[in-house]
């Protein structure tokens, strides 16, 4: 009785999306359940009846909410219900246009998974024409494809789209970004008559709706078309089941840090997608030794057949890390991705919305980590404002985090060892226990299995190797950094000035944090004595920092030259002490940080002020 009552307690979403509420045949329900779908999601609930009843629909929903099934289920149901005699060479009744080959393949697969006695074809560039022409001769009910290849077949008079009854444009905004607007309109012109009542039903699906979407709607859709908006103007556009984190890291350290990030946030058994800007970067990262999990790259230079094999392998768990450029960012539903890594803040926010949508899909929670350099802080804020999200600034994973995660993985590896194999090692194990003791021997074995035998200490402030971040908390608000600096020098001596880097105010100026070389930490801890006002600790995670540290950087620390971050004062605290004439020759690197005589730019040998001692 108890089991029965528990199973009947459904969430409001499950009640609203129950299959019994919709005109879905038992055969389709069985196929959906085989795919792991037990009820319709929000976007599918809101669009099913309008799509089934033949209304034109513009649907705007976050990435990862199940947009494909929201048009696939009702269209398949309609086709199967109205299906008459199957005629060879029949023209398509449904046309689905997608911006990328990968998305077209994914959509066609979703249709095939739920359809019965319906012919589905997928046409895209980079593949042979002959099988596609054979499919046209045999007859097609649902045609999914990319604009370029569909247009080729139309120009060669091989394809007839005059009988199309339903047109779906998937990821419309991406089509616009990729320059497909003209091709899409040429394709649609073959199926639509101006002012004709018998024009196809038109369905537009997207995560964002730029102006072109509404222009297309005016031209091809009925005035009373239905607009389903599950995003709204003010709400967060990125998937809500994703935690957004940001890590400050110089590009030269990024590959090594990504290896640690994957280990801690995804582990050896989780799946990760890394997005980067260039094909070269994708290739280098996928081969980088710091990523211990098996990795493969996906980008435009890889032949189409290989891309399909790679995607299939990633879905099936053949490897754990996929390094991709923008080509794989949109619409590909790779289930159960635990972590998305963005190598730098994206140039446009729409791409971040779609990239972060690869994790936290269909109700799962996920993590998206964005790497940024200090000069990209403004770009990161821009992404936050446009996508209505807040990045939680975190430091690189600490040695402790890595060990914890690695030991969990090692224990899981032990569980997978077959019993028959254990017998071969029993004698060696007994010998080890006798020599080292059981705990010592097993700990050493786990350390070796995990690969975490040598760990590098890194700064939490900017991920630099060989540095440890210390946190100095004050019992009252500090008015300037000189106050902290004076206290540090009183306790640790004048020479400590040479070892402190990147001093930054904590939030509300309740103290400072700074980096010191890792080999100096023990000496500092032994010399320092906490008082009533000051407490010094090793930071285990990045504390909240005072925002003003990063604002107006261009006006103060970076001179007023032509090259911004390269000219004038390269790393100045106040700008005026570090050159500022602009050009590379007069105010660039030579006039910036250290010159040959050992003095600091235009300081002419004067002692630095406290603020100038810090890299900000």
Q: How far apart are the first and last CA of the chain?
A: 66
Summarize the confidence of residues 197-203 as an average pLDDT. Answer: 86
Instruction: Give this prediction's pTM.
Output: 0.55
The helices-and-strands tally (H runs, E runs) of the chain is 23, 18
d(CA 71, CA 95): 12
- Is the pLDDT score of 371 beyond 60? yes
Summarize the confidence of residues 15-40 as an average pLDDT. Answer: 91
- Torsion of the alpha carbons at 367, 379, 99 and 230, rounded to the nearest 10: 60
**The predicted structure's pLDDT at residue 217:** 75
Beta-sheet pairing, 511-517 with 467-474: antiparallel
**The predicted structure's pLDDT at residue 407:** 65
Contact assessment for residue 255 and residue 290, using Cβ atoms and an 8 Å cutoff: yes
d(CA 185, CA 203): 14
The residue with greater pLDDT, 407 or 342, is 342
**The predicted structure's pLDDT at residue 51:** 94
Q: How confident is the model at residue 111 (pLDDT cuts 50, 70, 90)?
A: very high
Flag the least confident range among 184-193, 290-299, 404-413, 473-482.
404-413
d(CA 47, CA 521): 60
Structure tokens at 156: 């060669």
Mean pLDDT of the chain: 78
Q: How confident is the model at residue 403 (pLDDT cuts 50, 70, 90)?
A: low
Summarize the confidence of residues 513-518 as an average pLDDT. Answer: 90
- Is the pLDDT score of 153 beyond 90? yes
Q: How confident is the model at residue 182 (pLDDT cuts 50, 70, 90)?
A: confident
d(CA 589, CA 567): 7
**The predicted structure's pLDDT at residue 494:** 87
d(CA 31, CA 34): 5
d(CA 84, CA 36): 30
Structure tokens at 451: 């690969």
Local structure of 253: helix, strand or coil: helix
**The predicted structure's pLDDT at residue 5:** 42
Summarize the confidence of residues 364-387 as an average pLDDT. Answer: 85
∠ CA(367), CA(44), CA(164), 5° rounding?
120
**The predicted structure's pLDDT at residue 138:** 93
- Is the pLDDT score of 603 beyond 50? no
Q: How confident is the model at residue 234 (pLDDT cuts 50, 70, 90)?
A: very low
DSSP secondary structure, 190-225, as one string: TT--TT-TTPPEEEEEESS--HHHHHHHHHHS-TT-
Highest mean pLDDT among 313-317, 329-333, 423-427, 607-611: 313-317
Owner of token pair 């024409």: 129
- Is the pLDDT score of 562 beyond 50? no
**The predicted structure's pLDDT at residue 326:** 65
Summarize the confidence of residues 154-159 as an average pLDDT. Answer: 92
∠ CA(201), CA(203), CA(204), 5° rounding?
150
């Amino acid at each position: 009785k108890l089991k029965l009552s528990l199973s009947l307690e459904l969430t409001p979403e499950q009640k609203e999306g129950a299959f019994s509420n919709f005109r879905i045949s038992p055969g389709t329900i069985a196929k959906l359940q085989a795919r792991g779908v037990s009820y319709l999601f929000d976007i599918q609930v809101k669009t099913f009846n309008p799509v089934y009843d033949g209304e034109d629909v513009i649907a705007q929903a976050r990435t990862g909410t199940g947009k494909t099934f929201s048009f696939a289920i009702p269209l398949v149901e309609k086709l199967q219900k109205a299906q008459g005699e199957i005629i060879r060479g029949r023209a398509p009744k449904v046309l689905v246009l997608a911006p990328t080959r990968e998305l077209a393949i994914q959509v066609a697969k979703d249709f095939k998974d739920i359809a019965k006695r319906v012919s589905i074809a997928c046409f895209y560039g980079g593949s042979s024409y002959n099988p596609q022409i054979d499919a046209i001769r045999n007859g097609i009910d649902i045609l999914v494809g990319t604009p370029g290849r569909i247009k080729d077949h139309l120009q060669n008079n091989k394809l007839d789209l005059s009988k199309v009854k339903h047109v779906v444009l998937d990821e419309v905004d991406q089509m616009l970004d990729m320059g497909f607007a003209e091709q899409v309109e040429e394709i649609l012109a073959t199926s639509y008559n101006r002012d004709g009542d018998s024009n196809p039903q038109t369905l537009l699906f997207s995560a964002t709706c730029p102006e072109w979407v509404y222009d297309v709607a005016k031209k091809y859709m009925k005035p009373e078309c239905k607009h389903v908006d599950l995003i709204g103007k003010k709400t967060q556009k990125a998937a809500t089941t994703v935690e957004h984190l940001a890590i400050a890291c110089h590009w030269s350290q990024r590959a090594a840090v990504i290896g640690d990030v994957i280990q801690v946030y995804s582990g050896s058994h989780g799946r990760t997608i890394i997005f980067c800007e260039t094909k070269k970067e994708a290739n280098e990262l996928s081969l980088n030794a710091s990523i211990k999990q098996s990795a493969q790259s996906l980008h435009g230079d890889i032949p189409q057949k290989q891309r399909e094999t790679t995607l299939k392998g990633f879905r099936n768990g053949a490897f754990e890390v996929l390094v991709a450029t923008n080509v794989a960012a949109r619409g590909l539903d790779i289930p159960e991705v635990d972590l998305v890594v963005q190598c730098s803040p994206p140039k446009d926010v729409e791409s971040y919305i779609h990239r972060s949508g690869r994790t936290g899909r269909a109700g799962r929670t996920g993590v998206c980590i964005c790497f940024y350099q200090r000069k990209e802080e403004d770009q990161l804020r821009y992404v936050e404002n446009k996508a209505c999200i807040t990045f939680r600034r975190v430091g690189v994973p600490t040695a402790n985090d890595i060990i914890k995660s690695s030991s969990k993985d090692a224990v899981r590896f032990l569980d997978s060892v077959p019993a028959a194999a254990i017998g071969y090692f029993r004698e060696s194990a007994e010998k080890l226990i006798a020599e080292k003791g059981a705990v010592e021997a097993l700990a050493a074995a786990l350390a070796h299995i995990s690969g975490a035998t040598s760990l590098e200490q890194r700064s939490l402030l900017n991920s630099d190797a060989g540095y440890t971040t210390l946190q100095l908390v004050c019992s009252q608000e500090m008015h300037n950094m000189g106050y902290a600096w004076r206290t540090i020098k009183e306790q640790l001596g004048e020479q400590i000035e040479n070892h402190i880097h990147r001093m930054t105010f904590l939030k509300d100026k309740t103290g400072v944090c700074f980096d010191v070389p890792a080999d100096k930490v023990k000496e500092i801890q032994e010399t320092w004595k906490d008082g009533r006002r000051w407490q010094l600790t090793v930071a285990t995670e990045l504390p909240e920092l005072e925002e003003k540290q990063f604002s107006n950087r261009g006006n103060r620390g970076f001179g007023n030259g032509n090259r911004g971050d390269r000219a004038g004062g390269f790393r100045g605290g106040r700008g005026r002490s570090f050159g500022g004439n602009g050009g590379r020759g007069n105010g660039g690197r030579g006039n910036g940080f250290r010159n040959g005589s050992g003095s600091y730019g235009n300081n002419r040998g004067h002692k630095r002020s406290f603020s100038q001692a810090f890299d900000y």
